[in-house]
Amino acid sequence: MSVVAVPGSKSITNRALFLAAAAEGTTVLRRPLVSDDTEAFAQGLTALGYDVEPGPAEWRITGRPAGPAAAAADVYCRDGATVARFLPGLAAAGHGTFRFDASPQMRRRPVAPLAQALRTLGVDIRHEEAEGHLPLTVVADGIKGGEIELDASLSSQFLTALLLTGPLTAEGLRIRVTGLVSAPYVEITLAMMRRFGVDVVRDGDTLSVPPGGYRATTYDIEPDASTASYFFAAAALTGREITVPGLGTDALQGDLRFVDVLERMGARVDIRPDATTVSGTGRLSGVTAAMRDISDTMPTLASIAPFADGPVRIEDVYNTRVKECDRLEACASNLRRQGIRVDTGHDWIEIHPGTPASTEIACHGDHRIAMSFAVAGLRIPGGVTFDEPGCVKKTFPEFHDAFGELCRGWGL
């Protein structure tokens, strides 16, 4: 059995950074993820005037419930969607002029639902170029609060941004949600808000966020479940066994449910309070999986699908088309380059059994494409190469080293 120490969750680390910055007092974050996205978030907070002290095993953040200390700031979000979608809400709760820009990749991704919601609440949002995209400027004078309607069918991050901002408004927020994808990420947000002293009331599709702010705390960051999916898939694909400690029955992240899909395909899964183990059985069965709520693991499944004994159909994943790249199309095109028959539609992909050829994977600058197809390389004579191997820095800079060490341990 191999035990893999997966780095901390990006989703949890960046939510915790927001909450810590907004809280009264000093928060200690233990075992945060150190990656391009989390460094961008921390540097964004620093630009806004927050006190962030990174260390080797923990970060300390001194909060400012009144909003950014800076009267003006220019925040560069790099490739980080959570940076670009969460920090404008934090800035809007303060007083000043705050500009947000990002990489060309992130400029292409939408921020319109968040911008429109903040405008409805009276915040002055200005787009410099394409409407609904970065760069944008927030001219802030606090947020009164009130009622808004939000379509979060493209990304749950828009809803999370407003939920996180709600306690910083004068009167609180009532958010009626008309569409939602990746719902487990919203559950992460609500659970973390409770840890920082705020309870959100849910009534059907409406969430009510009280005013009053957050309280600082000490918070342990659990391992990243999306990253763990690559190691779990490796075990299922090769007939080996992998245990990831720190991800168990009490894990916040919905992406741990990826192991349920592997179990349906024939792997053995053991989820304990403090760890999850996946054991390959030497076979993978075809499966149909609706992955709307765990769509970040869609490329992981797509990469190993050719090795199943029947077609693998992944449904309800339109939102993967508006990630770092069009992930559905990126998976399809890479699989076809490997000689695999693939059919696609608006929100689905079906992958047929075959023998993938060794080829260079087109990453499209997307960390999840690179890490997913590294898994398939374990069963491909000659393996695979990548046109942009360094794109993994977004969430797991040491991925190639960690995966290589695992392979050497297995004699692959």
Sorted by where each begins, the domain ranges of the chain are: 9-206, 225-410
Q: What kind of fold does domain 225-410 have according to CATH? A: UDP-n-acetylglucosamine1-carboxyvinyl-transferase; Chain (3.65.10)
Interval 112-142: pLDDT, tens: 999 999 999 999 999 999 999 999 999 999 9
Asked, as a colleague might, if the bond just before 135 is cis with ω within 30 of 0, I would say yes
pLDDT for position 280: 98
pLDDT per residue as tens digits for the range 205-217: 999 999 999 999 9
Task: Give the per-residue pLDDT at 412.
Answer: 81
Determine the pLDDT at residue 407: 85
Q: Give the pLDDT score at 411.
A: 84
Per the prediction, the chain carries an average pLDDT of 97
Distance CA 115, CA 125 (A): 7
pLDDT at 1 over 80: no
Cα–Cα distance, 173 to 165 (Å, whole number): 9
pLDDT of 56 reads 86
For the cut 80, the answer to whether the pLDDT of residue 251 exceeds it is yes
Give me the DSSP letters along 266-314: T-EEEEETTEEEEE--S----EEEE-GGGGGGHHHHHHHGGGSSS-EEE
What is the reported pTM? 0.96
Instruction: For residues 294-300, give the mean pLDDT.
Output: 98
| DSSP label of 167 | G
Q: One of 296, 309, 343, 347 is an active-site residue; which one?
A: 296
Confidence of residue 350 (pLDDT cuts 50, 70, 90): very high
Identical fold for domains 9-206 and 225-410, yes or no, is: yes
pLDDT of residue 278: 98
Helices (H) then strands (E): counts for the chain: 13, 24
Q: What percent of the chain has pLDDT over 90?
A: 97
Secondary element (H or E) of residue 97 = strand 95-101
Binning pLDDT at 50, 70 and 90, where does residue 265 land?
Answer: very high
The class that CATH gives domain 9-206 is alpha beta
Q: What is the reported pLDDT for 113?
A: 97
The predicted structure's pLDDT at residue 332: 98
> Which has the closest alpha carbon to 160: 73, 40, 252, 74?
252
Separation of alpha carbons 407 and 411, rounded Å: 6
Is-catalytic flag, 224? no
- Confidence at residue 96, expressed as pLDDT on a 0 to 100 scale: 98
